[in-house]
Amino acid sequence: MHEMQKTPKIITIIGLVLEGLAAVACILSAYIFTLLDKIPGYTESLQEMPADDLAAYETIMNFTLGILVVFSVIFSIMFVINLILFTKLMKGSFTEEQAKKVYLYQAIWGGISILINSVTGILYLISGVQGYNERVDRIETREGI
């Protein structure tokens, strides 16, 4: 069974935490977005808007809410998938060949997610490449000092 090195393990844990926070933040943003009409004075300010502006505003708000919901679903699904895969990887549940495939997936997902969540993407790229290349953590000491 594959044993994950400490550096990629720590980087993966940080990436999972940040990815989970991003999913929760996106879900909360979508939820808060649906509560805008509960703000005191919100509906009164919309009544003062010209009809054309109000129609454009409602279109933009609906589009933005739709984007937030889609991202919330995607982030949540990918977080659950990554949580399951990477937890199994850290626990040593995979053979060397399976672990290599998970590291490759991690690097690919890091490359894709770098466009959306740069920090998580970079962390997954580093961890995935290190694990795929079987980089071994070493502590180098200087002898004679």
Does the pTM of the predicted model rise above 0.75? yes
- Taking only the tens of pLDDT, the chain with its 145 residues reads 878 888 888 999 999 999 999 999 999 999 998 888 788 877 777 788 888 888 898 899 899 999 999 999 999 999 999 999 999 988 888 888 888 899 899 999 999 999 988 888 898 888 888 888 876 555 566 665 5
pLDDT of residue 118: 87
Q: How far is CA 62 from the centre of its chain?
A: 24
